[in-house]
Structure 1
């Protein structure tokens, strides 16, 4: 062997198991991932890595499975400060009587900054490396994620009524257009348009949102078909199901991300197929708010791309995407009356390569392949409650939870090492969170 046959790498990660996601349905043994700069240089056997590479740093993870960083495709990060505040209520009572009044009382730039950082800490610690956010002060969220080195699709809000971020649709769209232009070339931040729902945004602003998406390439994310009452009310008021109205307004398209989609019939599925729109499944939030059951297997059989999100911690009540995967897989089986529906590998794909495809980043995120960006997580499967391990993919979905994540890299930069966050000051953050909790608790009791 000569010196010129050896390739240098910054990091070598050795693991007991590796799930690349592409090719699909594969679990590999005793593999090594070589990282050079911000990208994956190679994924090879450990023996081949010994022969071909020399790394500046080697990390041995003998009891771990490594896989792409998870992609949480829907949430409201700052609402982590409302976690557990108004549980056991139906959606509209939860929104009208508790969440919207609390937002009116507390939401500010500082609230969004602290709540978002709390959410990012939880997501990073449980394996998420990219998240999608739909909330107020998107410029704060984008800057915080960028500063932390975390990827984020950040959707600016669009509603018919005033909020802490603006006076109405015209101001939201004006500020949103500037927000898109400011961030659209950033490698970490993906600016997007976030019309809240068909029942909170009228036809004119929705048409303008569709036009803005077409002119800038920004995605549209919208809560759609979240409950049976939403659909029934829409038919009564407009004569159209919400998906049909969105199609008529030009909102449905390949850049459209339809969140929830629980109350669905064949006409809705046909519109999604024809338009190329994507579905974002939020099973635990749907269950907790009794919103409904999304027919995920029908979407998959129709060729519709389905990714997954936790929704906000105020309606979940956590941001652990691994827990969401287990719920999604088991719920899909019940809804389809088929125990083979949504396999463990398909569930993992929803949180990795499918999320990357929805973001338009499938060519560089969502799988462990040479040339892709080095967004990687490691999960420790050595605990007694995870033994024995017959199928690492099955374990990740049905037996695991996010607290088993021990390492995380984004762009090759460590975010979690030995279970500890590297770029967020947790003690300082907890002091700020406690301050908000005290204020919110005092307001509720008065």
Structure 2
């Protein structure tokens, strides 16, 4: 007798990103209670399963939902606000003053919803966010149905979210406890950077993180200037300083890492910390080049992130994969560096590892959550099709994402958002543009 399931998804190609990185043809994914119960040939699927809904995507690639391991979602409302400035001028003279005027719970919720819509339409199912009012982002995650790993911002000076480290660490701990059992949301600590957080604050963060084992996200060695200033002030590179303060561990995400020495790599290896590569943001802000191939060859887990839309200016993970691969080849002077499959891994299973969610997402495997993205293949730029992985990475195809599921819930169906009112979203974004432009 056939087994009852919720959904049967049939595709032309299926990229599992499992330990064998299998690429299957003409296979189906059986989904029940939000999880993958089987992956079987299409020819057998309808005899084996009685589905409430059978979705035949015969000209599509199915792959794990993409994992964007670094962003500032609400900054989507500042997309294009201050372009073509170097990092510190961009932050100090433009972004931080604008945030001081406009950031609020409402701003963050509205910006997060806009960012989630963009990410879903680009095939992303899980993301990392580091921004003020993480509770607002958590609320939108539950509303939209998207996975969010939210790292609450901690800085030495007052912000819209708190008076300083003492208050923001306490608020972070409260949120961590509140969301410990949530199906979609994880909360961790997000100390902004070594140059904006004191030793005392880092030590307290390390103490609390050890208690909750919730993860730390920190912008680290984003520029050579940051490294030089740290050596002058502390007599240590930023990685050495954070290692001595107990910040570096297997749940720590080191974002950017463009100025990397052999000493840094040794610390990353010993601590098992992760590196989050944001190639397009790094290029746009002229921050430097992360040596992804050297890090990966040293056994460091490297994942992929877009950064915020104010410094990218999009949240397109498929585009980010292409940029990452091409940049790695140029930096390493090696055309084989960061091949297509490795780039896709950075955006899926390696991203899930960085966020400590790989036990239930990041690959298409029996028992894992049905976090699935499909890409349509009938467009001219998809022909001929020799290698679906190469196609995803090296061809501009994010506009061909057709369907997205998170825990078996369909968030995008044939290119249409299912849990977000797109017209209301457009109207809201234009309202914010008017407010910010009028300032």
What's the TM-score once normalised by structure 2's chain length? 0.99
In the TM superposition, what whole-angstrom CA distance separates every residue of 1:253-302 from its partner, at most 9, and x where no partner exists?
11110000000010000000001111111000000000000000111111
The aligned counterpart of 1:178 is 174
Does structure 2 retain, via aligned residues, the 8 Å contact 1:155–1:194? yes
Between stretches 395-404 and 201-210, larger displacement belongs to: 395-404
1:354·1:366 contact (CA, 8 Å) conserved in 2? yes
Aligned partner of 2:40 among 38, 44, 50 = 44
Query: 2:425 and 2:202 mapped to 1: Cα distance?
Result: 37
Q: Deviation per CA, 1:376-418: give whole Å up to 9, x if none.
A: 0100121112211110000000003322110011110110001
Aligned residues: 439
| 8 Å CA contact 1:260, 1:282 repeated in 2 | yes
CA RMSD after TM alignment: 0.9
Query: CA distance change for structure 1 residues 329 and 24 in 2, over 3 Å: closer, same or farther?
Result: farther
Is residue 28 of structure 1 aligned with residue 29 of structure 2? Answer: no
SS at match of 1:18: strand
In structure 1, the partner of 2:274 is: 278
Q: Are 1:407 and 2:403 matched, yes or no?
A: yes
Q: TM-score, normalised by structure 1?
A: 0.97
Measure how far apart 1:91 and its partner are: 0.2
Shift of 1:23: 3.8
Indicate yes or no: 2:5 matched with 1:9: yes
Counterpart check, 1:308 vs 2:304: yes
For structure 1, the residue ranges without an aligned partner over 5 or more in a row are none
Query: Structure 2: which 5+ residue stretches go unaligned?
Result: none
* Partners of 1:214 and 1:57 in 2: CA distance: 44
SS at match of 1:153: strand
> 191, 194, 197: which one pairs with 1:195?
191
3-state SS of paired residue (2:57): strand
The answer for the alignment partner of 2:59 in structure 1 is 63
Matched with 1:210 is 206
* 2:112 alignment partner in structure 1: 116
How far apart, in 1, do the equivalents of 2:419 and 2:183 lie? Answer: 19
Q: Could you tell me which of 73, 76, 89 is aligned with 1:77? A: 73
2:101 corresponds to which of 98, 102, 105: 105
Number of the residue aligned with 1:150: 146
- Distance in 2 (CA, whole Å) between partners of 1:157 and 1:203 is 16
Which moved further from structure 2: 353-362 or 216-225?
353-362
Aligned to 1:341: 337
Alpha carbons 1:386, 1:400 under 8 Å: kept:
no
- Distance, in Å, in 2 between the alignment partners of 1:179 and 1:300 is 33
Partner of 2:224: 228
Contact in 2 for aligned 1:12/1:35 (Cα 8 Å) = yes
Q: What's the offset of the Cα at 1:361?
A: 2.0
Secondary structure of 1:236 counterpart? helix
Deviations 1:147-173 (A, max 9, x none): 211100011110000000001111111
Q: Which moved more, 1:69-78 or 1:425-434?
A: 425-434
Q: Distance in 2 between matches of 1:381 and 1:336?
A: 32
Q: SS in structure 1 opposite 2:311?
A: coil
